[in-house]
């Protein structure tokens, strides 16, 4: 029988649209709201300069702040969508060239469209799949002083240091979950040609914090693509640090379809977890090098750490 896990002191609080946990000098806020209103979409679309996804949760975010160091990270819709490529796509952008792309773009940017989204800017080229490699961002906007977050940058992880990794054994233990949230940032059906979405999940356990931000793309009969950002913090790490793993994979549509448990049931192809499982189980030479032959720069895995406080500080 495994030893009992001691639960640290923590405080939970809620408002109608957010939940907060305070634990071990951390303040974590998960804000989940309805789909943005027309006026909110107007403002966001004007700021971004391209049409929004069909379901945009512009007020949703996940915020993490370590009070004693001042280190703060956020995941939010506006900053995520800022990572979508505007203009003509170039080498490394992972552009998906299919026959209906031009017609799809026209349907999303034509003022006469029947889609229930405001059109406030002239039609412009942009990545119609909303592909992004958004890993979260530091909350350093509008700061008049040197930001603590910027003074503790991400550095490459040391492969010889066990603390510079994400311990799957700890994350798969049946420890109590003190705090859990799913925060959708956007979703789009790509005009019935697939799906593109970004979802952030967090769980706080007695020993650690774990976050998974997952972008999933399905373009029917063309490709599947996943971009994951995993963040892990152990409350007992010394020095205090956060580990971040950023990974991207893709494969041709048929390559994933062949892995279906039942070839007559296509339902798993709409499941982000199934897609990610297949892509990560494929040989790296396929899923992170060849991919779907788009030359997408997101095809890689990078492990890095941010040191929040050093011993003796």
Query: By three-state DSSP, how is residue 305 classified?
Result: strand
* 75 three-state secondary structure: strand
Please give the Cα distance from 102 to 301 (Å, whole number). 32
Task: Indicate whether 179 belongs to any domain.
Answer: yes
In a domain, 154, yes or no: yes
Cα–Cα distance between 116 and 305 in angstroms, integer?
42
Task: Band the pLDDT of 66: cuts 50, 70, 90.
Answer: very high
Number of domains within the chain: 1
Indicate whether 239 belongs to any domain: yes
**Domain containing 14: what range?**
10-309
| Structural domain contains residue 97 | yes
Q: Is residue 3 part of a domain?
A: no
Report the range of poorest mean pLDDT among 19-28, 205-214, 277-286, 300-309: 300-309
Mean pLDDT of the 221-246 span: 96
pLDDT given for residue 77 in this prediction: 98
Q: What is the pLDDT of the chain when averaged over all its residues?
A: 89
Residue 37 is assigned to a structural domain of this protein? yes
Alpha helices of the chain — where are they, by DSSP H? 38-48, 77-81, 101-109, 148-151, 168-171, 253-257, 272-281, 284
Q: What is the pLDDT of residues 122-176, one digit of tens each?
A: 445 899 999 999 999 997 643 444 455 555 789 999 999 999 999 998 999 999 9
Whether the link from the prior residue into 239 is cis, omega within 30° of 0, is yes
Q: Does some domain include residue 5?
A: no
pLDDT of residue 260 exceeding 60: yes
- Could you tell me the pTM of the whole model? 0.89
Q: What percent of the chain has pLDDT over 70?
A: 85
Q: How far is Cα 143 from Cα 211, in angstroms, rounded to an integer?
A: 26
Contact 164, 303 (CB under 8 A): yes
For residue 72, report the phi and psi dihedrals to the nearest 5 degrees: -145, 135
Q: Is residue 55 part of a domain?
A: yes
The answer to whether 299 touches 284, Cβ cutoff 8 Å, is no
């Amino acid at each position: 029988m495994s030893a009992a896990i001691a639960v640290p002191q923590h405080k939970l609080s809620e408002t109608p649209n957010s939940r907060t946990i305070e634990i071990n000098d951390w303040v974590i806020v998960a804000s989940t709201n309805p789909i943005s209103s027309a006026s909110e979409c107007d403002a966001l679309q004007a700021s971004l300069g391209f049409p929004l996804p069909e379901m945009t949760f512009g007020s949703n975010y996940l915020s993490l702040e370590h009070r004693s160091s001042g280190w703060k990270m956020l995941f939010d819709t506006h900053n995520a969508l800022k990572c979508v490529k505007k203009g003509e796509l170039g080498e490394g952008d992972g552009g998906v060239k299919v026959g209906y792309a031009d017609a799809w773009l026209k349907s999303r940017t034509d003022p006469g469209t029947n889609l229930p989204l405001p059109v406030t800017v002239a039609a412009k080229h942009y990545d119609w799949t909303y592909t992004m490699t958004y890993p979260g961002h530091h909350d350093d906007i509008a700061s008049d002083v040197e930001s603590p977050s910027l003074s503790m940058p991400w550095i490459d992880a040391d492969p010889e240091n066990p603390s510079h990794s994400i311990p799957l054994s700890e994350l798969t233990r049946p420890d109590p979950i003190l705090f859990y949230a799913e925060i959708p940032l956007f979703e789009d059906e790509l005009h019935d040609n697939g799906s593109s979405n970004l979802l952030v999940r967090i769980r706080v356990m007695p020993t650690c914090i774990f976050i998974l931000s997952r972008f999933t793309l399905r373009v029917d009969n063309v490709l599947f693509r996943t971009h994951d950002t995993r963040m892990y913090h152990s409350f007992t790490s010394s020095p205090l640090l956060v580990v971040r793993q950023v990974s991207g994979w893709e494969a041709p549509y048929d390559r994933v379809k062949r892995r279906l448990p039942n070839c007559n049931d296509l339902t798993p192809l709409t499941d982000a977890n199934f897609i990610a499982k297949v892509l990560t189980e494929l040989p790296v030479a396929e899923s992170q090098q060849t991919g779907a032959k788009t030359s997408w720069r997101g095809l890689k895995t990078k492990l890095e750490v941010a040191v929040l406080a050093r011993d003796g500080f």
